[in-house]
A and B are shown apart, each in its own frame.
Chain A
Amino acid sequence: MIPVLLILIPLISGFAGFFIRNGNGAKKWSLFSSVITLLVSIAGLSIYNGKAYLNFDAEWLTGLGSRFSVSLDGLSQILSLLTAISFPVIFISTYRNEYKNAKNFYALMLLSQAGLMGVFVATDALLFYFFWELALIPVYFLSSQWGGEKRIQATFKFFIYTFTGSLLMLVGIIYLYTQTPNHSFSLDSFYSLHSKITGATQGWLFWLFFIAFAIKMPIFPFHTWQPDTYEQSPTAVTMVLSGIMVKMGLFGVIRWLAPVLPIGTWAWGDTASALCIIGMIYASLIAMQQDDLKRLVAYSSIAHIGLMCLAIFATTKIGMQGVMIQMFNHGINIIGLWVVVNLIERQFHTRKISELGGLAQKAPALAILLVIVALANVALPLTNAFVGEFLMFSGIYNSVATTYNVVFTVTAGVCIILSAVYMLNMIQKVFYGNTNELTQNAKDIYPNEKIILAVLVIIIIAIGVFPQPILELTKNVVDSIVTKMNYKT
């Protein structure tokens, strides 16, 4: 029942949101709804052993072999928890932003949450595809309506890219469906296919799925939509896009691609890994040159996601474990960065690093919190990302699925150093040095933002020091996925 509630609460409250008369009411309503979702999600964690609450299955399209079946396992629990935490954080941290037609804005935000939840809990391929698209449409409208100057072109590019990818995935899904013995879209019958489909077929099926997921993550060379879209979207939407939506791509690979097509994944894993590596280096180098805060964070995100994708293809339990925890961490860390970007942009009406400086003197609380978030992004020990990246690196290095494990480890390691370069450089230029005309009247942050950042910092350090609960949560699912990936004819 829990997964159904996770979808229904935002869905219904989202539709209701369209009918709220004033914008302020809609703001409170959406915050209320997202907090309820968070509580339900936490309740789902606490009854980890109560299987009956975590699964739901009902008839939907019987003739087509598709059922409305949703379930929460470790993987979907961690991602739905991330989604559930993110939305209240987003709503509170952007509480002071004013939007035209605010009720529509908040209603669409809730609808996108419903879509994201659906993606993470669906165990039926057609249902998964439905939610995959359902998450996209509200975000398209949000970015196009409330974004920056070049929003229409930027988000349209984003939409066409992702839509093309998902149509290719649809072809793949239908093809797999026609191969299932009982003509079913269920995850289990997809998992039973690995021995029935020949290696050559798995090869091209791999690409149908991987392109869809690679566009979403994004992986080089499918990433070109991302910096523009992040830059042009309103910050609240950018948080959704970068904190949660990119996880849809990683989630797709972990749940719907690698275990379903193990031979295809094994055959093309090196190619995909090479793309990840190229993307990481490329994005890190560009991030170093950026003067716009939003674009800097966007490119740093490409680099981090590339590492996670690389660790998936390493096909080791330890690496996969790292991916699981890092998906959560990356969401928390990047939302923290966006909160800061949002504060800076609202106060100074600029995102140019070169126009800012000396903020630490004027806003010490902000500076401390940002530094912690930024260091977490660089994966310093004691922060959450260190745990994830350490596990991923050891997974990549010990990988037997590829012969280039050392090369991959070393180049990926270089990217981590580069990420320290651009993050610290950004901190130095924005927060230290002398104040200028623009920043000398800077105020420190408001209490609501301070609380949000403090909460994020607490999560960062708590997971950094004691990651065991999350590792326990995802242990079973990691075992079963890696076992499936290791299938060889």
Chain B
Amino acid sequence: MSESKTRRIVINPVTRVEGHGKVSILMDDQNRVTQARFHIIEFRGFERFIQGRPYWELPVVVQRLCGICPVSHHLCAAKATDVLVGADQLTPTAEKMRRLMHYGQFFQSHALHFFHLCSPDILFGFDADPAVRNVIGVARHHKELAVQGVMMRKYGQEIIKATAGKKIHGTGAIPGGINKNLSIEERDTFLADIDQMIEWSHGALELAKGYTVENLEMLSDFGSFPSNHLSLVAEDGSMDLYHGNLRAIDADGETIVDQVAPADYLDVIREEVKSWSYMKFPFLKARGPEDGWYRVGPLARLNACDSIDTPQAEEARKEFMSVTDGKPNNITMAYHWARMIETLHAAEKIKELLNDPDLQGEDLVVEGERRSEGVAIIEAPRGTLFHHYKIDDDDRVVMANLIVSTTNNNVPMNRAVQRVAEDHLSGKAEISEGLLNHIEVAIRAYDPCLSCATHALGKMPLVVELIDHEGRVVERKTKS
């Protein structure tokens, strides 16, 4: 870094993501990017303040760390408490109700991200007028699409309410099972609309695919880099978003680890702490902290699985993989396409489950021999989520460790930011809003949930500051 004329650009906060983060970019006197970092500036204290509470509160308390994907934390904590109460095999009703809740969550969360957060960038362009490049602009210029986005979210949220009791922060999953089944009336309400949801999922998928294929040359370089990929897979290697074992592959598709049981995650995953972020940096032990970082989420899941067990999503997966000749896809912006394949998969799974009479079963809870330690892993919409708890003889939580999806994607997001900064900002004396949005576009591809990764506090105006090497603010722009 130049000692004399370094300048620093800060994007604070990054917009159209869940939660609060900022980007800082250091440039030397030739306007070359010397460093670009994505900082998570919130603080999460859940691992500490859950200590001393009884274990059966975990699914209800820990989900409070997020208002966007509480279902993922609710279910992951519930799965960990299953281990604690010795419920190794749930009843079919309990397992399927939880899966229905989970697919409902995927459906609404992916729809929210694609329609509300991402679509302004791909519909209007990265550097379009920000007054248009937002969800209101989508509603104004692509009304049908905006309505579909809202209705798809609503459908997923109603599924969550029917399975968890509430749309946000429900109580459905309990240690060893579930506290309700699905009534015939509830089932019929959802069945009436599911084909429409599948059709709209196809529409969104076509939009994401078309955009990616048409702009493949540009997107292949945009914020992209080779990386390892991590996700849960079923025993037969197919995609399973609710339960399975860990698989990690490298950028060329070589297997690093496979079928690692959740309880053994510490054998393969390690976490590193860095002074400039509240987030930890997980890595694959086998490859070490320098090379062992990996991506999670839709892109990683599509890359890691061998197949998808619903026919329409499987067709879409094959098409997706054909773009890279069956090798892992390392294009950051391909996350959107992968996310829409998963949305279709979730809709297909919802239909499959709704037609399953087990959802009306009465046998809801099992338990077995109590244990003092429980680990669970689930695929949250944003990626692999780990919950690990230890309890004492009095049922108190004495240790909690959470590795959330966004934490897993910490290094990749920083790589994406660095890459975009180097490619699009380096050498430019004037940094426009549109150029800065390129940075945010790359971050948004990962759909980070910064509230989960840390914990949300405060309001979110956008502040961009240019700071010289002595810390003086040269220029400041604010957008509320």
Chain A complexes with chain B: no
Chain A residues at the B interface, C-beta cutoff of 8 Å: none
Chain B residues at the A interface, C-beta cutoff of 8 Å: none
